[in-house]
């Protein structure tokens, strides 16, 4: 899934970011879900 820079900035400012987890987990921008998937911000080295 691709995200624009504006979307990434919004995720960071809101304090919530999706993961690629099949369970649909949403975590803190620097978080990892209980299933081991990093936030998209971490995956993309945005933070």
| DSSP letter (8 states) at residue 37 | P
Domain residues for 34? Answer: 5-43
Find out whether 40 and 20 touch, Cβ atoms under 8 Å: yes
Find out whether 8 and 41 touch, Cβ atoms under 8 Å: yes
Q: How confident is the model at residue 2 (pLDDT cuts 50, 70, 90)?
A: confident
Beta strands in 1-47, from DSSP E residues, in sequence order: 17-18, 26-27
What pTM, to 2 d.p., does this model score?
A: 0.83
* pLDDT tens string 19-46: 999 999 999 999 999 999 999 999 988 8
Picking from 32, 28, 33, the residue whose alpha carbon sits closest to that of residue 13 is 28
Of residues 2 and 35, more confidently modeled: 35
d(CA 12, CA 6): 10
Domains in the chain, number: 1
């Amino acid at each position: 899934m691709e995200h624009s820079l504006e979307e990434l900035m919004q995720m960071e400012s809101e304090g919530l970011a999706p993961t690629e987890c099949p369970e649909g987990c949403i975590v803190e921008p620097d978080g990892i879900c209980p299933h081991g998937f990093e936030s998209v911000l971490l995956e993309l080295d945005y933070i």
